[in-house]
A and B are shown apart, each in its own frame.
Chain A
Amino acid sequence: MKAIVSVVGKDKKGIIAKVSACLFDMDINIENISQTIMQDYFTMIMAVDTSECKLKFDDIKQELNSLAEKMGLEIHIQLQSIFDSMHQIDTTKKGL
């Protein structure tokens, strides 16, 4: 399944490294990354593919949540379809 991982929090060293490692450990492939600093906040958006991941979606969320807690960040993972739906007129096209 295609999903979007979004990471928001105070900028610090190692955010990309740790989030990527966590995804790698779950067999989740990162297809695209964009990262900016918005209003002093580190904001990273990753488009990922979870099709090789053996975990359930809720468990993936759990893993990311515990990483988020450790690092003092907010990490969300949501299916890409919600963003396709809200931000594209034609939902048959794929986002990103």
Chain B
Amino acid sequence: MYSSNEIIETINMISQQHLDVRTITLGISLFDCITDSKKRTCEKIYDKIMSKANNLVKIGNDISSELGVPIVNKRISVTPISLISASSKGHLEIIRTLDKIANEIGIDFLGGYSALVHKAMTPYEKEFLLSIPEALSTTGKICSSVNVATSKAGINMDAIALMGKIVKDCAYRTKDDDSLACAKLVVFANAVEDNPFMAGAFLGTGEDDTVVNVGVSGPGVVKTALEKVDGDLTQVAECIKQTAFKITRVGQLVAKEASNRLGASFGIVDLSLAPTPVVGDSVAHILEEIGLESVGAYGTTACLAMLNDAVKKGGIMACSNVGGLSGAFIPVSEDAGMIKATEIGALNLEKLEAMTAVCSVGLDMIAIPGDTTAEVISGIIADEIAIGVVNTKTTAVRVIPVYGKKAGEYAEFGGLLGRAPIMNINKYSPAKFINRGGRIPAPLHSNKN
């Protein structure tokens, strides 16, 4: 039994506090599309995805209408393409095929132009990685991710050195769009195989043939709930937990419905609090509601640690299968509060790096000066990846060296990707360290200090 108040609460969450399901992501395995012919591989990929996903957008819209909750994006994730194209070497042709599919089905993003090179790169994988700028600069919806480290394998520094150059190449090729291609590329440590969020979504090798993964959102709902809490931090954490429970339940319901209607298995619900640039949909504003003058102030890391943990505790109770990146996202360009904090000088790259040690993902949607060298970008990646590897968590880097622009200027991406003030960065060079290459061995998993 529930009351009128509860019904009104749900309606207000949706209409005033931006509760939404960020994405239904249909994961599609492409293993059965592998052939040694470029043309045949592309044909099989086209047929498989079209047969599984041609109703995805309609089904998403139907569920959204019936439940009265917005489902912002409909996306597809696929098996890392480097595995599918290794035999035919047809990755360039596959880019065209995936682009055609994404446009024909009308989805928002297609993720999985990816490679898993956490221990080493095969010669073909290196060739594949070098094609990422082509994939991201000549298409609109394809997203790419590269796993360069795991807690068990260590850190592939050769791959990190290469990724610095690839990020620069992506930036240059889309120089007229504020280096937008970089916003579709994520470098991971401990990448998860069931992530519904972009740009890092791909369908892992241990997954079913077709899987529905759903990402919920709702920072505004948490902030509004906290406005009524006048108690101590235990009560704050409790309030976040209860709110996360309700938000996640919506995700669970949508995931169940979508998987039934698509004939796919129910994968996971990703409990991430994902902000958008819209006012009232900010993770930074939650932290400020808890009691920080601005995000970035001392205390931010502690606040975020509590938020992240409470979101998971509430969400896990609400859902039969939780996975993905689950936690709080802190993408700078996509969060009105983060943008403001950067503008007033309260938030810098170093504080953001510290924050990523206690929340999900990592250095996300951060615009840096266009003249940043490849080695410095690799250095930023290496630092963030090390945090993930040592703490046995997923971390990622999505930085945008905005071609032709300097610190203090803005990169404008539009839509969900927002706008980012370009941050000042430390200019001292890590070039010798990066150019040594090799692998940083896996860390010790005992004697934790």
Question: Which residues of A are in contact with B by a Cβ distance under 8 Å?
Answer: 4, 6, 8, 34, 36, 38, 43, 45, 57-58, 61, 76-79, 81-88, 91, 95-96
Contact = CB atoms under 8 A, between A and B. Distances in A.
Given A43-B8, A83-B10, A77 B2 contact: no
B274 to A, nearest CB: 19
The 4 closest A-B CB pairs, nearest first, are A78-B68, A87-B2, A85-B249, A85-B253
A78 B8 contact: no
Given A81-B67, A82-B253, A85-B253, 13 more contacts: A8-B8, A8-B11, A34-B4, A36-B4, A57-B62, A61-B65, A78-B67, A79-B66, A82-B69, A83-B2, A83-B10, A87-B6, A87-B10
Nearest to B318: A85
A58 B11 CA distance: 18
Interface residues of B, number: 19
A86 B10 contact: yes
Contacts of A81: 67, 253
B7 interface: yes
B252 interface: yes
B250 interface: yes
Interface string B241-252: 000001001101
A95 B66 CA distance: 17
B344 interface: no
14 contacts: A6-B11, A38-B4, A43-B8, A45-B7, A57-B62, A57-B66, A77-B68, A78-B68, A78-B69, A79-B66, A85-B250, A86-B250, A88-B2, A95-B2
A45 B249 contact: no
B7 A83 contact: yes
Contacts of A84: 2
Given A6-B11, A57-B65, A78-B68, A43 B250 contact: no
B276 to A, nearest CB: 21
B11 A95 contact: no
B374 to A, nearest CB: 48
B12 to A, nearest CB: 10
Contacts of A77: 68
